[in-house]
């Protein structure tokens, strides 16, 4: 299990960097342009991804009231830096985790204040899958904004480069 989670964490960092590098070719106006999607702009989608990584981190660290949204107000460059820091933090945590850490069942409240208990490995699997889903949306947004030559972010592409 740890080996797979290490791969997913490394993949998450790699794919997020590719998305950020691609987004950096957009103007500030394009990054904030409203586009129909789960979140209405590149900025707001990236913000959601960063906030989710932060919220799960705080839950894992037993922060009583994790910051779910609305706490970050920086621009896209600042958001990108924080997002990569969080992704790297997850990667580092998994590198240093043991089987007990990964299998540990922790308790948390979701955004609807519902109480859950789950093993850490299930949360991590969800987190990395969630990030992949929304990166796909960002790629669609990039195309709608006129970007071409968007690098692939598929796990198989990442795994071939090891």
Look at residue 122 and tell me whether its pLDDT is greater than 70.
yes
Whether pLDDT at 125 is above 80: yes
The arithmetic mean of pLDDT across residues 88-93, rounded, is 98
What pLDDT is stored for residue 38 in this prediction? 92
- Report whether pLDDT(86) > 80: yes
Domain 2-160 class?
A: mainly alpha
| Amino acid 162: pLDDT | 64
Residue 108 has pLDDT above 70, yes or no: yes
Q: What angle do CA 136, 139, 145 make, to 5 degrees?
A: 145
Residue 66's pLDDT is what?
86
Model confidence, pTM: 0.94
Work out the percent of the chain whose per-residue pLDDT is above 70.
99
pLDDT in tens, 38-53: 999 999 999 999 999 9
The CA distance from 40 to 101, in Å, is 36
| Cα 55 to Cα 31, 66, 111, 123, distances in angstroms | 23, 6, 10, 11
């Amino acid at each position: 299990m740890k080996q797979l989670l290490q791969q997913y964490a490394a993949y998450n960092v790699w794919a997020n960097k590719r998305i950020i590098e691609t987004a950096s070719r957009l103007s500030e106006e394009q990054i904030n342009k409203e586009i129909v999607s789960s979140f209405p702009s590149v900025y707001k989608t990236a913000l959601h991804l960063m906030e989710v990584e932060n919220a799960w981190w705080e839950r894992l660290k037993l922060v009583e009231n994790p910051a779910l949204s609305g706490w970050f107000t920086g621009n896209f460059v600042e958001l990108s830096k924080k997002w990569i820091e969080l992704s790297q933090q997850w990667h580092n945590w998994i590198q240093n985790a043991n089987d007990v850490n990964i299998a540990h069942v922790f308790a948390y409240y979701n955004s609807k204040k519902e109480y859950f208990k789950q093993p850490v490995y299930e949360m991590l699997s969800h987190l990395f899958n969630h990030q992949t889903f929304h990166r796909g949306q960002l790629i669609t947004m990039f195309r709608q904004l006129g970007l071409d030559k968007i690098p692939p972010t598929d796990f198989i592409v990442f795994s071939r480069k090891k």
